[in-house]
Every structure is written in structure tokens, then in C-alpha cells.
Amino acid sequence: MKRFLCTVVLVCFAGCNGQTAAAPFGPERAQAARHARVDGSKGKIDHVVIVVQENRSFDNYFYGFKGADYARSGKMSNGSTVQLHGIPLGGPAVVNSWHDGLYDWDNGRMDRFDQNLLGGAAPAGAYVYSYVYRRDIEPYWIMAQSYVLADHMFPTMFGGSFTGHLELIASTTDVAPGVADSDTPSNTPWGCDAPPKTVTSIVDASRDESWGGGPFPCFTQFQTLADTLDAKRVSWKYYAPAVSSGNLGGQLWTEFDAIENVRKGPDWTRNVVSPPSRVLSDARSGKLPSVSWVIPDGVDSDHPGGPSLGPSWVAAIVNAIGTGPAWNSTAIVVLWDDWGGWYDHVPPPQLDFRGLGIRVPCIIVSPYAKAHTISHTQYEFGSVVRLIEEVFGLPALGPSGTGYTDRRANSMLDAFDLHQAPLPFKPIPAKEPASFFLMQKPSGHRPDDD
């Protein structure tokens, strides 16, 4: 079914719009080879925490947020306009692969979201033209109102979780010049522990996708932040959930399972940790590493169809850091790894053949964040990588023009004021407290299925 859908969508992209799939994309901007540590950041920001959630567009979460760029209505594939309507946080999932994102974008018209498949079976129709009731995601709104809401954050490429998570550790998905990994590998688990005949899918510079035409998902083709952090002896952890889907790699749902030198080296046992709730105890006890990625357990994911514990889970992380000894030296970036098929009205700028992908929410929490601010700066997932590089004085991951986006990406430091007195922390109210998650047993469910 996925192979058939891929073919149909690519044919429509090339033909239905009256133009070829190969379109001009913006050039990558060259920057210095090394990001010098930002003046005044030492002792101000010594911890960066990337909290990843699942499958939401900006319009789906921050409809009605005063001053933000949101839509009240959306365009459908039949040319009509439909008002966005409220829905609960749960509900059925929508297919959201590489070709779905490309199809939704429709050369900037943003009018084919209703053709995404609901539950992989039937078109979603007006369902995806919706926003989640604020009462269901109130912790996110409180964070966004108190600190910085970034309303122009884009994944590096169209597509789902697998590539989104790669971008957050490597700022690239390229496996060869002009060839990028796309969509989920053909078998579970994701990475080096996958069965021997597992393959990935790839997309070329003409935006043609080859389903199953990519390499085994144990990548050596690019560097990741693990390389540069280790080289400079900057501490890091990847807090990953346990799963029961045949993942032989310690039964962990982590992108680093797809990076050979991490999976087969000392970083795997030293820096990849489970359960994710360990970040709560580390934050409270002063053991927070310099850089952290935090991935939710399946029941704490914002992925549609779950029990809606995600907002409480993220609030628990922020509260643990905010009331812990590292608050005055921490920057927290909360973002969603892909748009999940939900409508968003902002056409993502096309910087190369991969994307940018459909817009996602992003909240920046820190004692040095500009309070009560909406940032309209165009960020991409490479901006998150660049933030880590700028804070810790790390080199860029690769030369300009080689697919890495940390060089071209706009800096997120414009969301901070490193000269202001640290903002005092006020706990984020949530339905479930941190103790709930510390007592929670791993569900074994993946945070997402792609």
C-alpha cells in the first residue's frame, strides 16, 4: 500500500501541477567553519535540553495564540475553504510520510491535507483542519506565554519521525551527494539492530523517492553531534523509551541506534539511557549533562491515539529542571518532530530538494529567554544543532554544500537575552505531577510508528 501511494503522489507532484518535480531551491548560505562560544554564555547557558514530542503542526496546537502566525481556516484540495474546528488531544492518527508532506505543500498552495490517509485507510477530509482544545494542552500554552514561542520552526525535510530525529542529532539526512534518507526503514527496530535485509528509502535531487532503495540503517555516511561533543568532552545523554517491538538494541527507541559508531561504541552504554524519566531525577539531583535529548514513552507521546499524557510529561521535565540546581544555566527547547498530517497554512521555504518540511511548534524555556515573546525568526531543526554548537563552541558538522544544515540555519540565540537577570522559575501547572512519571512503568509502546 505504501509503495503504491508513493507512486501515485509522486506522479501527481510531477504532473498535476503542470510542472516537473525538480524545482529551484534556495542556495545554502556559507558560514564560519566553527561556531565560537557565544560571548557571555559561559556560566549562563551550560545545559541544553531538547524535549521532543510527536506529530503536531503549529496551527493544530497554537490556533488563537495572540500575536502568533496561525490560521482560522484552511484550503482543501477541491478549492473550497473550511474553518478550523476544535478537537480533543487524542483521536485517530494521520499518515505523514515524505510524499504526504510534499503533497500537502503542493508547491506552496498548502491545500491537499484533506487527502492524507486517516489511519492508513481513507482520506482524512476536514478532520485534519483542526486545532486541539487549549484545555487539553494548557501546560504548553503557559510555557509559550511565559517564555518564547517560535512560530516559524520547520523540520529540515518533508517526512516523519525517523528523519526528524536524524536532523536533531546530525542536521542532515544525506546518505550521498544529492541523495537523502526518507521515511522509516523497512523493518523494526530502526537502526543497526534491524534484521540484515532491512533497507531505507531515499529521495534524490529531483524529489523522486525510491521506496526501499536506500542503505541498511546503520549510518556511517555523516557525522553527528555525538562526534563533536565527545571530541570536546562535553557530556551528553539521550533519554530513550523502552519498547517491546523486537528492538534488539537494548529495546530502546532512539535515533542513535541508527548511528554505527554510537551503537557499536562506548557511547551506547554510557550516554543512551532508559527510561526517559531518569531525566527528572538527574535534573533534581544536579546530574543533568551538558546536552540532553528526551524522547517520550509511548503513553507520554502527543501522537494521536494516545492517552494524552504528553503535556503533563513535558511540564514534569520543565518543572524538574526549573526547581533543580541547574535552572539558572539551562536552555530547554520543546519541539515536535513532524507535522503529523495536520493542516498548517504557512508554506515552508524550500531551501533544497529535501524541504524545509511542514511547520511544527517550538517553545524555548530558559531563565535567559526573552519573556512573553513570540519569535518569528525562521528556524529549522539545524538551528537546534547550531544552538548546541554555539553554546559549547563546537565545530560545524561538515563543510558548506555537503548537506549539513547547521551552517545555514538561523541562530536561536535571538530568543535569549544573556545580559538579563535570570527569570525566576514558576512551576507549570499540569494534570499529572513529576511523581506520576517517576512511578510509571515503561509501556513498551513506541512514541510513534514511523
Q: What is 217-242 written as a DSSP string?
A: S-B-SS--HHHHHHHTT--EEEE--B
Q: Residue 205: inside a domain, yes or no?
A: yes
Whether 251 maps to a domain, the answer reads yes
CATH number of the domain residue 176 falls in: 3.40.720.10
Range of the domain at 40: 35-62+133-439
In a domain, 101, yes or no: no
Distances in Å between the Cα of 248 and the Cα atoms of 11, 174, 193, 252, 253 are: 37, 25, 6, 8, 10
Task: Judge whether 123 lies within some domain.
Answer: no
Closest CA to 248 of 266, 263, 236: 263
Q: Read off the pLDDT of each residue in 285-308 and give the average, rounded to a whole number.
A: 92
- Residue 212 pLDDT > 70, yes or no? yes
| Dihedral pair phi/psi, residue 37, rounded to 5° | -60, 135
Q: Kindly state the helix (H) or strand (E) to which residue 331 belongs, with its residue range.
A: strand 330-336
Averaged pLDDT of the chain:
88
Q: Find cell 513498551 and name the residue.
A: 444
Distance CA 77, CA 425 (A): 46
pLDDT tens string 7-40: 333 333 333 333 323 334 443 333 444 555 555 5
Domain assignment of residue 357, yes or no: yes
**Global confidence as pTM:** 0.90
Has residue 444 been placed in a domain?
no
User: What percentage of the chain has pLDDT greater than the value 90?
Assistant: 76
Whether residue 6 is contained in a domain is answered as no
The model's pLDDT over 172-196, given as tens digits with 9 standing for 90+, comes to 999 999 999 998 887 667 789 888 8
pLDDT digits over 54-70, tens only?
Answer: 999 999 999 999 999 99
For residues 225-246, average pLDDT: 90
In a domain, residue 275? The reply is yes
Nearby residues of 135 by Cβ (< 8 Å), 6 or more positions away: none
Q: Give the number of domains in the chain.
A: 1
